[in-house]
Chains A and B, each alone.
Chain A
Amino acid sequence: MESLLNTDWLALAYNELPLLLLIVGGTLVLLADLWWPQHILPRWARRKSATVDVHVPDRTPLLLFGMLAALVAFIACWRLWVQHEMPNQMGMLVIDRFSLVGGMMIIGSTIAGLALGWGYLFQHKLPIGEYTVLMLFATAGAWCMISSANLLLAFVGIEILSISAYVLAGMDTKNRLSVESGLKYFLLGAVASAFLLFGIAFFYGATGTLSLVGFTNDGIMQAPTSQFYLILGTAFFLVGIGFKVALAPFHTWTPDVYEGAPIPVTAWFASAVKAAAFLLFARVMLVVLPLMPALGTQLIAGLAIATMFIGNMAALWQDNIKRLLAYSSIAHAGYAALALVTMATIPEAGITSLLWYLMSYSVMTIGAFAVVQLLGRDGEELTSVGALAGLGERHPWLAACLSIFLLSLAGLPPTVGFMAKYYLLANLVAAGHWGLTIAAIISSLISVGYYSYPIVVMYFRPVANQTPHNSMNVGVPIRLVIFFAALAVLVAGIFPDRLMSFIQNSVLL
Chain B
Amino acid sequence: MIEQLLQHISIPTLMCLIPLLPLLGAIANGKMYLFSTRSQWKPSHALSGTIAVVMPLISFLIVAVLFYIAMGLEDSHSVSTGPLFTWFGGTQWAVTIGLKLDQLSLIMALVVTGVGSLIHLYSVGYMSHDDGFAKYFAYLNLFLFFMLLLILGDSLPLMFVGWEGVGLCSYLLIGFWFTDIEKAKAGKKAFIVNRIGDFGFVLGIFFIWQALQPTAQPGDAILSFSYISTHAAFLAPVATAATLLLFLGATGKSAQIPLYVWLPDAMAGPTPVSALIHAATMVTAGIYMVARLNFLFVLAPTTLNVIAIVGCATAFFAATMGLVQDDIKKVLAYSTVSQLGFMFLALGVGAFSVAIFHVMTHAFFKALLFLGSGSVIHAMDGEQRLSMYGGLRKHLPVTFTTFLIGTLAIAGIWPFAGFFSKDAILWHVYSSGHFWLWLIATLAAGLTAFYMFRLVGLAFFGKRNPAGPHHVHPENSVTMLLPLVVLAVLSIIGGWVGVPHAMGGHDHIMTWLAPLFPTALHEAGNESTELFMGLGSMTWGAIWAIIAWILYSQHRGWADQMAARFKRCYTLLVNLYYVDQIYDAVVVQPLLWFSRSVLWQTVDAVLIDKILVGGSARIARLFGRVGTAMETGLVPHYVFLLVLGSVVVLGWMIL
Give chain B residues whose Cβ lies under 8 Å from the Cβ of A255: 631
Interface residues of A in 142-192 (CB under 8 A from B): 184, 187-188, 191-192
Establish whether residues B88 and A253, one from each chain, have CB atoms under 8 Å apart when the complex forms: no
Within 8 A of A (CB), among B637-654: 637-639, 641-642, 644-646, 648-650, 652-654
* B621→A317 contact, CB < 8 A: yes
Choose the segment among A33-41, A92-100, A236-244, A454-462 that binds chain B (4+ C-beta atoms closer than 8 Å). A236-244
Chain B residues closer than 8 Å to A187, beta-carbon distance: 635, 639
Query: In B118-177, which residues have CB < 8 Å from any A CB?
Result: none
Is residue B633 within 8 Å, beta carbon to beta carbon, of the partner chain?
A: yes
Within the complex, the shortest CB–CB distance from A344 to chain B, in Å, comes to 15
Does A141 count as interface, using CB distance less than 8 angstroms? no
- A192-B642, A317-B621 in contact; A231/B635 too (CB < 8 A)? no
Asked if A495 lies at the interface with its beta carbon under 8 angstroms from chain B, I say yes
B75-92 CB contact bits vs A (8 Å, 1 = yes)? 000000000011111000
A250 is an interface residue with CB less than 8 A from chain B: yes
| A496 at interface, CB cutoff 8 A | yes
Complex Cα gap A116–B450 (Å):
72
- Is B230's CB within 8 Å of the partner chain A? no
Cα of A231 to Cα of B87 in the assembled complex, Å? 45
Q: Which residues of A contact B638 (CB under 8 A)?
A: 184, 188, 252-253
Residues of B within 8 A of A (CB): 85-89, 616-617, 620-621, 623-628, 630-631, 633, 635, 637-639, 641-642, 644-646, 648-650, 652-654
Do A256 and B85 contact each other (CB < 8 Å), given the known contacts A231-B654, A243-B642, A249-B642?
A: no
Please give, as numbers and ranges, the residues of chain A lying within 8 Å of B645 by CB-CB distance. Answer: 239, 242, 248-250
CA separation between A28 and B465, bound complex, in Å? 90
Q: Is the Cβ of B635 less than 8 Å from the Cβ of A195?
A: no
Q: Which 6 A-B pairs have the closest CB atoms?
A: A314-B627, A313-B624, A249-B645, A239-B646, A235-B653, A497-B86
Cβ of A316 < 8 Å from any Cβ of B?
Answer: yes
Name A235's contact: one of B85, B88, B630, B649 (CB within 8 Å): B649
Chain B residues within 8 Å of A192, by CB: 642
- With A249-B645, A252-B631, A314-B630 already in contact, 9 other A-B pairs whose C-beta atoms are closer than 8 Å: A239-B649, A249-B641, A250-B642, A299-B653, A314-B624, A314-B627, A317-B627, A495-B87, A497-B86
CB contacts (< 8 Å) of A239 on chain B: these are 642, 645-646, 649
CB distance from A497 to the nearest CB of B (A): 4
CB pair A315 B624 closer than 8 Å: yes
Q: Mark A21-60, 1 if CB is under 8 A from B, else 0.
A: 0000000000000000000000000000000000000000
Distance in angstroms from B89 CB to nearest chain A CB is 7
- Interface contact tally, CB-CB below 8 A: 105
Please report the C-alpha to C-alpha distance between residue A250 and residue B630 in the assembled complex, in whole angstroms: 11
Given A239-B649, A249-B642, A446-B620, A498 contacting B85 (CB threshold 8 A): yes
Q: In which size bucket is the chain A interface? A: 35 or more
Secondary structure of the B contact surface, majority rule: helix
Most buried by A among B616, B637, B644, B645: B645
Indicate if the CB atoms of A299 and B649 lie closer than 8 Å. yes
Docked CA distance A140–B86 (Å):
36
A256 to B633, CA, bound (A): 7
A187, A310, A311, A316: most-surrounded residue (chain B CB, <10 A):
A316
Q: State in angstroms the CA–CA spacing of A231 and B624 once bound together.
A: 33
Nearest CB of A to B627, in Å = 3
Q: How far is the CA of A236 from the CA of B650 in the complex (A)?
A: 7
Question: In the docked arrangement, what's the CA distance between A450 and B539, Å?
Answer: 72
Q: Are A232 and B650 in contact (CB under 8 A)?
A: yes
Chain B residues with CB below 8 A from A312, complex form: 620
A195 and B624 within 8 A (CB): no
Give chain A residues whose Cβ lies under 8 Å from the Cβ of B86.
497
Return chain B residues, CB-CB under 8 Å to A253.
638
| CB-defined contacts of A238 to chain B, threshold 8 Å | 649, 653
- Name A309's contact: one of B88, B621, B623 (CB within 8 Å): B623
Contact residues in B for A191 (Cβ distance below 8 Å): 639, 642
* Contacting pair A231 B625 (CB below 8 A): no
- Please determine whether B653 and A234 come into contact, CB atoms closer than 8 angstroms: yes
Q: Are A316 and B88 in contact (CB under 8 A)?
A: no
Is A449 positioned at the interface, with any CB of B under 8 Å from its CB? yes
List 21 A-B residue pairs with CB atoms under 8 Å apart, sorted by A's residue number: A184-B638, A231-B653, A235-B646, A235-B649, A235-B650, A235-B652, A236-B646, A238-B649, A249-B642, A249-B645, A250-B641, A250-B642, A252-B637, A252-B641, A252-B642, A309-B623, A309-B627, A313-B623, A313-B627, A316-B617, A497-B86
A417 CB to nearest chain B CB (Å): 16
CB distance from A238 to the nearest CB of B (A): 6
Residue of A236, A253, A314 contacting most chain B CB atoms (<10 Å): A314
Chain A window 411-451, contacts with chain B (Cβ cutoff 8 Å), 1 for yes, 0 for no? 00000000000000000000000000000000000100100
Q: Select from chain B the residue with minimum beta-carbon distance to A430.
A: B91
- Contact A299-B627, Cβ < 8 Å, known A250-B642, A253-B638: no
Q: Which of A214-262 contact B (CB under 8 A)?
A: 231-232, 234-236, 238-239, 242-243, 248-250, 252-253, 255-256
| Cβ contacts under 8 Å, B88 to chain A | 496-497
Shortest Cβ distance from B160 into chain A, in angstroms?
A: 15
Contact A497 B653 (CB under 8 A): no
Interface centre among B616, B635, B641 (most CB of A within 10 A): B635
How long is the Cα–Cα vector from A449 to B618 in the complex, in angstroms? Answer: 12
Is the pair B649, A497 in contact by a Cβ cutoff of 8 Å? no
Residues of A near B631 (CB, < 8 A) are 252, 255-256, 314
Q: Measured between C-beta atoms, what is the minimum distance from B342 to chain A in Å?
A: 40
Q: How far is the CA of A191 from the CA of B652 in the complex (A)?
A: 21
Contacts of B87 in A (CB 8 A): 495, 497
Q: A311: which B residues are within 8 A, CB to CB?
A: 627
Q: Which residue of chain B is the closest to A192 with respect to CB atoms?
A: B642
* A317-B618 Cα distance, complex, nearest whole Å: 11
Whether the Cβ atoms of A316 and B635 lie closer than 8 Å is: no
The interface residues of chain A lying within 8 Å CB-to-CB of B641 are 249-250, 252
Among B621, B644, B653, point to the contact of A232 (Cβ < 8 A). B653
- Asked if A313 and B642 sit within 8 Å, CB to CB, the answer is no
B95 (CB) vs chain A CBs: closest residue: A497
- Tell me how far the C-beta of A321 lies from the nearest C-beta in chain B, rounded to whole angstroms: 15
A451-509 with Cβ < 8 A to chain B: 495-498
Residues of A within 8 A of B654 (CB): 231-232, 235
Q: How far is the CA of A316 from the CA of B650 in the complex (A)?
A: 31
Residue in A253, A256, A313, A496 with the greatest tally of chain B CB atoms within 10 Å: A313
Cβ contact within 8 Å between B85 and A497:
yes
Closest to B638 in A: A252
**Chain B min CB distance to A425 (Å):** 14
User: CB-nearest residue of chain A relative to B621?
Assistant: A316
Q: Does B642 contact A188, Cβ atoms closer than 8 Å?
A: yes
Q: A184-B638, A187-B635, A239-B649 are in contact. Are A249 and B644 (CB under 8 A)?
A: yes
